[in-house]
Amino acid sequence: MTHEVLIRTQGKTQVLDITEEIAPIVQKQGGEGVCCVYVPHATAAIVINENADPNIGLDLLDALAALVPEGKWRHDRIDDNGAAHIKAAILGPGETIPYRDGRLLLGRWQSVMLVELDGPRERTVLVRAG
Ligand code: ZN
CATH number at residue 13: 2.60.120.460
Residues 11, 119: contact at Cβ < 8 Å?
yes
Distance 117 CA to ligand 1 centre (A): 11
Distance 85 CA to ligand 1 centre (A): 6
Distance 62 CA to ligand 1 centre (A): 20
* CA-to-CA separations, 94 to 42, 49, 130, in angstroms, rounded: 12, 13, 16
Distance 32 CA to ligand 1 centre (A): 38
Residues 35, 122: contact at Cβ < 8 Å?
no
Residue pLDDT, tens place only, 57-78: 999 999 999 999 999 999 999 9
Distance 81 CA to ligand 1 centre (A): 5
The domain containing residue 22 runs over which residues? 2-129
Nearest to 125 by CA among 11, 10, 17, 13: 17
Residue pLDDT, tens place only, 69-126: 999 999 999 999 999 999 999 999 999 999 999 999 999 999 999 999 999 999 999 9
**Rounded distance between C-alpha atoms, residue 36 and residue 128, angstroms:** 5
Number of domains making up the chain: 1
